[in-house]
Amino acid sequence: MKNKQIQFKKHVKQKNVVGIRRGKIDPNPIFGVLFDVNSHLLLLQCLEEFHFNGYHILRTNDVSQLIFRNYERFLKKILAKEKIFPSVNMRYKVNIADWEAAFRSLKNCQINIIVERERKKVNSFYIGTIEKVEEKSVYMRHFDAMGRWNKKPKIIPCREITKVIFNDEYINIFSKHTINRSA
């Protein structure tokens, strides 16, 4: 684990494009640039088809492979030549000491987020705002696939959360078209 932490920190410092594979959760890697990492969580600016699109917070223990090969080096060069790479930045101050700290930070940002509980049989996906944060759970007021806000917040245990996404196009565009936001 300590060796993994050293590798992560090196890539944070160098702002390398890396792949994060979470073999037990998803066979497909998530590509991006690491912003922060600790023994609990990591923060990544996500890269999709030569486009930076939002941020992911993932559990560090779920990472089965940190990918940094010739492809990722070449990708960074392409992004620099296309003047995409300088766009790597963090618009929000997010503390990833643990889930509680991360959710408190995101609540202060007053933005909509996605919380995922990725499981083998059934995945749960919630998009909305953070209403309340406790040490072991987060209360999310979320909306459905038709943009209708639920009246009551969903209580999500932190131990079940595998991924949090914020400031991506899906969230930002969908959030503009919701209805009945009032409590």
pTM here?
0.93
Of the three residues 43, 71, 90, the one that is the final residue of a domain is 90
Domain limits at 181?
Answer: 92-183
Residue 85 scores a pLDDT above 90: no
Mean pLDDT of 72-98: 87
Q: How many domains does the chain have?
A: 2
Of the three residues 69, 90, 111, the one that is the final residue of a domain is 90
Task: Return mean pLDDT, the chain.
Answer: 92
- Spatial distance between the Cα atoms of 120 and 136, rounded to a whole number of angstroms: 23
Residue 89 φ/ψ, nearest 5 degrees: -160, 165
Q: Are 17 and 34 members of one domain?
A: yes
Which of 119, 123, 9, 114 lies closest to 66, judged by CA?
9
The DSSP output letter for 181 is -
- Spatial distance between the Cα atoms of 140 and 113, rounded to a whole number of angstroms: 9
Residue 69 φ/ψ, nearest 5 degrees: -120, -165
Mean pLDDT of 150-173: 96
- Spatial distance between the Cα atoms of 121 and 22, rounded to a whole number of angstroms: 16
Q: Are 4 and 72 members of one domain?
A: yes
Residue 21 scores a pLDDT above 60: yes
Exposure pattern of 18-29 as b/e (b: 16+ CB <10 Å)? Answer: bbbbbeebbeeb
Residue 183 scores a pLDDT above 70: no
